[in-house]
Amino acid sequence: MARKAGSDGSKTAEAIRAAGLRLIFEHGYEGMSLRDLAQIVGIQPGSLYNHITTKQALLFDFLVEHMTRLTEALDAALAGIESPLARLDTFIEFHLRYHLTRRMEVFVNNSELRSLEPQNRAVVTGLRRDYERRLEQILAEGTRSGALNVPDVTIATFAIIAQLTGVVGWYDPKGRLGEDEIIAIHRQLVVGGLLPIP
């Protein structure tokens, strides 16, 4: 097989990651083959191992990188915001916009957690839990201050994240509502449901 121009080093590694992610998205982890991956990238199958150790390692790296970037970006978005209501509002907008613009990565992250080996799954689950704690803290602070009324912070955290992430499954960028409208509706749904009853 002819080697593609510019396929050495970091370019090849990036091409492997991009093609691997797309193959997992399109065919699932079990249906994705390293032979197909090598063919798409334009290298011999054995050359893949200069860049990845196993298919499992490739998936694990995808999910770790996704969760690490997600949490770091959330921390940056929340930096300097003190009010629990403003922090909740920021979380809602951040989570929706991040996920709506990375639909393939989000799908793989959510659907292929089950494909990780137990030790790898534990690592990624820990990273997901770390992200969830950010929202838990916002809800807990809001409840303590009286700005929010959250009967169970843990359940509310799971429910809100599921609701916001679920948008990726049905949102159509060519549909009648854009990202801003979707975000505004979810702000009303989430925040409106957590405000103290007068």
Q: How far is CA 130 from the centre of its chain?
A: 13
Give the domain CATH number at 96: 1.10.357.10
Q: Count of CB atoms within 10 A of residue 50's CB?
A: 12
State the residue range of the domain holding 39.
Answer: 1-52
Residue 118 — φ and ψ, nearest 5°? -50, -45
134-177 pLDDT, tens digit each: 999 999 999 999 999 999 999 999 999 999 999 988 988 888 99
40-98 pLDDT, tens digit each: 888 887 878 778 888 999 999 999 999 999 999 999 999 999 999 999 999 999 999 99
Note every long-range contact of 50-58, with CB atoms under 8 Å and residues 24 or more positions apart, other chains counting.
50/12, 51/12, 51/13, 51/16, 52/16, 52/20, 55/29, 56/116, 56/117, 56/120, 58/16, 58/17, 58/20
| Pair 19, 114 in one domain | no
Q: What is the pTM of this model?
A: 0.87
| Pair 76, 170 in one domain | yes
